[in-house]
């Protein structure tokens, strides 16, 4: 079996195993059905990024496929990759995947008995309370506590207020005694009526009176049995009264110390230096919260995408390796800027001219010198890709290293970013005055993670031009993204 075929089979097997592992870990469906589009309007989508997940009951069913501004509200287009039954009453809300997690769109379907949503329905989205609003409410709470402390300090002696309350209770008790004395006659009459009623009951219902007597005996026995508990309860009441008196005295002492500016609370209320220290501390807390908010905002905006592809070149000479592969990492921390790093092993290698000199001694003693120039290809080395990109509408403009040579590239996104057409130019100083290396490729995405590759490579050079085709996969690594998000980048 030729060495080239062995290498090709080994690379294909590695790609198949890697693809299988990625599908199992990420739970992808490369052959999924047609996607469903849906649009939602929100008052605010702060922190929500394009390509963010869309979930139903916590299960990913699609992703955000565009965010725009409609008047003073945000309009978000959702692309559902799995069939979801949406009925009237369905709404959307923004949620976080944990404390430091990305924001995503949560769809809450309506009742199953309701009719299905008509095509083109515009859903209303609910925006949760943001982190800044929560901080503003916390600040309002601090101001309310400060006003409350001022009210406490302006109320005066708490002991005198309690003393006035006791005087009022004593006056009310005297009024009640006077009221009872004024109506004593009516009370005596009521008692006499009750006695007559008791006599009647004793005459007419002796059995009932007997039962009542036995019941009273039982009650007396219960009281006698629990007399100790009653005495203990009364003792507890007396002890509680004494403790209350001590507490009132302590409150008087505390209010006096506050009034005189003693202690921590007194200094806080009456000492300007303590107030200034508290204000300084709150300012530092506010700066820390702002720094934390900035860090969280940077992490949520950072996007990290990885890709792996393999291609076969059909028109290369038989002695050339016709297979190649590439790995790519794309980092995007700005809506219009990205950085692309990777390695590639694509044939043919770099063309170079090798000169050999042959010296031959003839039978007659003469010496002939022959110079032979051969054009060879260096292959087997990986090329480095390191490019800075700028996104302009549907175009991505790139410049940097392409397969370890200076070059530029442009990508055009069409059909809802499912088709990407790319043109790359690099290796401008090739030997033998060869034209620069140009490569035209197209990528058709079967779904957001799997695509097919085809194109025409080095089409300005007759010896090395070739048609190529292959496939690739791409995915997002959120864990690595959070790790990179903690690095103090300043792009």
Helices 272-301 and 478-485 pack at an angle, to 10 degrees, of 140
* Residue matched to tokens 């260096």: 378
Q: Is-contact 360 405, C-beta < 8 A?
A: no
Quote the pLDDT of residue 424: 93
- pLDDT tens digits, one per residue of 468-488: 899 999 887 665 555 555 555
Dihedral of alpha carbons 59, 54, 414, 322, sign: negative
Statement: residue 345 has pLDDT above 60: yes
* Residue 49: how many other CB atoms lie within 10 Å: 17
Q: Is-contact 415 406, C-beta < 8 A?
A: no
Quote the pLDDT of residue 453: 92
Cβ within 8 Å of residue 266, ≥6 positions away: 257, 258, 259, 260
Q: Is-contact 350 464, C-beta < 8 A?
A: no
Give the tokens for residue 13.
């097997």
Quote the pLDDT of residue 292: 66
SS3 state of residue 176: helix
- pLDDT tens digits, one per residue of 82-132: 888 888 888 899 888 765 567 889 999 888 888 888 877 888 888 776 656
* Residue matched to tokens 């809506």: 335
Query: For residues 258 and 265, what is the distance between their CA atoms, to the nearest angstrom?
Result: 6
Closest listed residue to residue 452, CA positions, set 418, 411, 410: 418
Q: Is-contact 398 387, C-beta < 8 A?
A: yes
Quote the pLDDT of residue 491: 39
Helices of type H across 302-394 = none
Q: Is-contact 309 472, C-beta < 8 A?
A: yes
Query: For residues 230 and 226, what is the distance between their CA atoms, to the nearest angstrom?
Result: 6
Query: For residues 50 and 65, what is the distance between their CA atoms, to the nearest angstrom?
Result: 6
* Residue matched to tokens 């007559």: 196
Helix (H) or strand (E) holding 162: helix 158-182
Average pLDDT of 426-448? 85
Query: For residues 168 and 149, what is the distance between their CA atoms, to the nearest angstrom?
Result: 28
Band of residue 377 on the pLDDT scale cut at 50, 70, 90 = low
Query: For residues 150 and 160, what is the distance between their CA atoms, to the nearest angstrom?
Result: 19
Going by DSSP bridges, is the β-strand pair 122-126/91-96 parallel, antiparallel, or unpaired?
parallel
Closest listed residue to residue 439, CA positions, set 330, 324, 339, 338: 324
Band of residue 36 on the pLDDT scale cut at 50, 70, 90 = confident
């Amino acid at each position: 079996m030729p060495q080239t075929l062995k290498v090709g089979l080994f690379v294909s097997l590695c790609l198949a195993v890697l693809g299988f592992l990625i599908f199992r870990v990420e739970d992808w469906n490369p052959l999924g059905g047609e996607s469903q589009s849906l649009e939602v309007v929100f008052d605010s989508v702060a922190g929500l990024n394009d390509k963010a997940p869309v979930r139903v009951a916590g299960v990913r069913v699609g992703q955000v496929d565009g965010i725009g501004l409609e008047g003073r509200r945000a309009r978000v287009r959702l692309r559902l990759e799995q069939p979801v039954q949406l009925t009237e009453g369905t709404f959307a809300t923004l949620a976080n995947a944990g404390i430091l997690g990305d924001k995503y769109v949560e769809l809450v379907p309506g009742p199953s008995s309701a009719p299905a949503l008509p095509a083109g329905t515009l859903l209303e989205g609910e925006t949760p309370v943001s982190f800044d609003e929560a901080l503003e409410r916390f600040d309002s709470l601090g101001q309310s506590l400060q006003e409350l402390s001022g009210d406490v300090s302006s109320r005066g002696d708490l002991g005198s207020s309690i003393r006035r309350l006791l005087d009022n209770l004593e006056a009310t008790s005297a009024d009640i005694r006077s009221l009872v004395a004024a109506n004593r006659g009516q009370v005596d009459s009521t008692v006499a009526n009750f006695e007559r009623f008791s006599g009647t009951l004793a005459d007419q219902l002796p059995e009932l009176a007997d039962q009542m007597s036995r019941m009273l005996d039982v009650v007396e026995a219960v009281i006698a049995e629990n007399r100790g508990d009653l005495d203990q309860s009364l003792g507890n009441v007396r002890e509680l009264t004494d403790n209350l008196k001590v507490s009132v005295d302590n409150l008087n002492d505390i209010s006096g110390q506050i009034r005189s500016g003693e202690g921590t609370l007194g200094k806080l209320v009456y000492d300007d230096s303590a107030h200034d220290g508290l204000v300084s501390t709150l300012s530092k807390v506010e700066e820390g919260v702002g720094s934390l908010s900035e860090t969280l905002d940077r992490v949520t905006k950072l996007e990290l995408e990885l890709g792996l592809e393999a291609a076969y070149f059909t028109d290369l000479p038989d002695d050339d390796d016709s297979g190649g592969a590439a790995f790519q990492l794309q980092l995007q921390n700005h809506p219009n800027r990205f950085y692309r790093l990777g390695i590639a092993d694509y044939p043919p290698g770099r063309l170079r001219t090798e000169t050999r000199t042959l010296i031959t001694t003839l039978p007659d003693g003469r010496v002939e010198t022959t110079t032979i120039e051969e054009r060879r290809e260096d292959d087997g080395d990986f090329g480095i890709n390191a490019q800075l990109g700028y996104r302009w509408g549907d175009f991505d403009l790139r410049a940097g290293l392409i397969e370890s040579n200076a070059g530029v590239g442009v990508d055009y996104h069409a059909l809802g970013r499912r088709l990407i057409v790319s043109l790359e130019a690099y290796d401008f100083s090739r030997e033998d005055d060869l034209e620069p290396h140009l490569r035209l490729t197209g990528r058709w995405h079967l779904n957001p993670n799997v695509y097919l590759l085809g194109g025409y490579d080095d089409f300005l050079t007759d010896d090395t031009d070739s048609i190529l085709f292959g496939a690739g996969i791409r995915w997002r690594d959120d864990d690595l993204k959070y790790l990179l998000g903690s690095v103090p980048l300043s792009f």
